[in-house]
Amino acid sequence: MNKKEILALLNAPTPEERLENLKKVLAAETEAPKAKPEFANNHIHTIYSFSPYSPTAAVYFARAEGLLTCGIMDHDSIGGAKEFREAGKIANMGTTCGFEARVSLKGTPFADKRTNHPDEPGAAYMAFHSVPCESFDKAQAKLHELAVKRNERNKKMTQKINEIMGQYGIHLDFEKDVVPISNFKNGGSVTERHLLYALSLKIIEAVGRENVVSFLKDKLGITPSAKVTAWLNDTESEHFVYDLLGVMKSELNVRTYISAEEEMMTLDEAVAFANDIGCTLCYAYLGDIGDSVTGDKKAQKFEDEYLEELLAFIREKGVKGVTYMPSRNTIAQLDRLMSLCDKMGFTQISGEDINSSRQSFICKELANPKFAHLVDRAWELVKSEIREEK
């Protein structure tokens, strides 16, 4: 079977079918993938937020690239964690389970600062790592409340998209076009990427793949980078829709985004929630961006100018860790960050933010010995969750 056929089996409609298909796919293997123990990834999105992969598929394809551990990290949902954990057992993969949520910095010295959120100052992405299995249901109940609130904002953003695109005969219906491509009915969340993926499909339907670049330039005033333009000129690419989505996220989202303030926990609430469910709350370092690796972020300044003050403040508030992706930053940025983490006593966790078919599950930079502690930490998370499960 090729990747497309395997993905179809592992993205079957129900977790039960997916897990059963995983057993069949593994049984049909003639040779196991070559293990690459120098790598780890604790930040894999699934269909429970936005991703080409179900939890089962995420485990399989992480293993296929040589990983021995993998971590689920969905936005506003931990609904895929039980399946992810079970898939790990079937595939003999170490697994760690968490989720990602935005946190309001109102009432702090950073209320008006842009930290790690490209679309909203005074808001920060936080990763809740290593949630114990006995806390899955409790965490999911809280996260579902946030996801329901988020949908009210999603509907308003859909309206803003239609205000821009209506003149070109393109219209999105939130319930008919957006919700069905999400996993909301099974406990997932609907994200901005779902809106923009649905829009990308509508654009392709309206103008054809071969005319997408000219439509972006002539109608929307968007000129993608040379790298992304080359991707979009390959109209046969299996990644085409995800590449167009990346452009929409980078360039159009700023025109349609609405503040998420009403659906965010405060920093104090996030710390209390993490302590209540027994996980490790981490600030997700972004750092100033030059050329976006994934094509979905503009060159932009974030928290580097006041990083030390920010980390000191959140450490005092009770945030225990910092998570980062070595492929997204310069060595100078990473050296500074790691030094500050050591100085302030933050645990360090890494993961490659997987939400597109174009991305590899492996962060090649982890082969550098200076990042070996990140792989060690991944195994510590895996082992702690195994002990908790027993």
pLDDT in tens, 173-221: 999 999 999 999 999 999 999 999 999 999 999 999 999 999 999 999 9
Kindly state the average pLDDT of the residues 83-91.
98
Task: Tell me: pLDDT of 295 over 50.
Answer: no
Beta-bridge partners for 96:
71
Taking alpha carbons only, the member of 256, 247, 243, 254 closest to residue 217 is: 247
Task: Tell me: pLDDT of 75 over 70.
Answer: yes
Output the pLDDT for position 319. 99
What residue spans define the domains of the chain? 3-147+261-389
**CATH topology assigned to domain 3-147+261-389:** TIM Barrel (3.20.20)
- Mean pLDDT estimate for the chain: 95
At residue 141's C-alpha, the angle toward residues 135 and 145, to 5°, is: 145
Taking alpha carbons only, the member of 351, 352, 348 closest to residue 337 is: 348
Run of H or E including 200: helix 192-207
Please return the burial class of 112, using the count of CB atoms within 10 Å of its CB with bins 0-12, 13-18 and 19+: exposed
Task: Tell me: pLDDT of 386 over 50.
Answer: yes
Output the pLDDT for position 352. 83
- For 168, residues 6+ apart whose C-beta sits below 8 A from its C-beta are 206, 215, 219
Distance of alpha carbon 4 from alpha carbon 84, whole angstroms: 20
Output the pLDDT for position 294. 47
Amino acid letter at 26? L
CA distances (Å), 143 to each of 84, 161, 284, 299, in order? Answer: 18, 26, 18, 31
Parallel, antiparallel or unpaired: strands 321-324 and 265-266: unpaired
Kindly state the average pLDDT of the residues 223-249.
96
201 is written with which tokens? 């499909």
User: What residue spans of 234-330 are helical by DSSP H?
Assistant: 240-247, 253-256, 267-277, 307-317
Local confidence band at 168 (pLDDT 50, 70, 90 cut-offs): very high
Task: Tell me: pLDDT of 353 over 90.
Answer: no
Task: Tell me: pLDDT of 322 over 90.
Answer: yes
Whether 54 contacts 364, CB under 8 Å: no
Residue with token string 């904002």 = 153
Task: Tell me: pLDDT of 87 over 70.
Answer: yes
Q: Of 42-56, 196-210, 305-319, 348-362, give the lowest mean pLDDT range.
A: 348-362
380 is written with which tokens? 């510590």
Local confidence band at 298 (pLDDT 50, 70, 90 cut-offs): low
Task: Tell me: pLDDT of 160 over 50.
Answer: yes
Local confidence band at 297 (pLDDT 50, 70, 90 cut-offs): low
Whether 178 contacts 172, CB under 8 Å: yes
Whether 120 contacts 105, CB under 8 Å: no
Output the pLDDT for position 388. 63
Output the pLDDT for position 309. 98
Whether 122 contacts 91, CB under 8 Å: no
Task: Tell me: pLDDT of 17 over 80.
Answer: yes
Please return the burial class of 214, using the count of CB atoms within 10 Å of its CB with bins 0-12, 13-18 and 19+: exposed
